Structure 1
């Protein structure tokens, strides 16, 4: 993938042109051809939403302190979001 460039020459490896892609994921971040981050932010928010929903039983448990719930939230939901 060539990002934000006007050069249309194909990139070659051992004389063979490499396939170009519109976007790819690298280290859990989505990188697209335009250099934007909108898709990556949307994907991270969705993953954090899923992590939050998976902890539904924890949020409803009355025997667990709120401070413990917050610590679990920071380690599971916030970590996925960031």
Structure 2
């Protein structure tokens, strides 16, 4: 597990893994991100997009889960750049 994934997991200790991160959690994660975590997030987004391309059209739940993860990483990256 990468550091960025560990940062997210740490924020989810009191939440369901399927719940969205709060804006406060996203900000806390972004504050802890450095160059390695930012690069890792970009790589994970590319991997998730590649995985999305392999999911059958009928599997909307899986597609939604993947998009949710992509948007989570995008939100973190947006806060890192602010």
TM-score normalised over the length of structure 2: 0.36
Structure number with greater CO (CA < 8 Å, separation at least 6) is 2
Q: Which has the larger radius of gyration?
A: 1
Q: Could you say which structure has the higher helix fraction? A: 2
TM-score when normalising by structure 1? 0.36
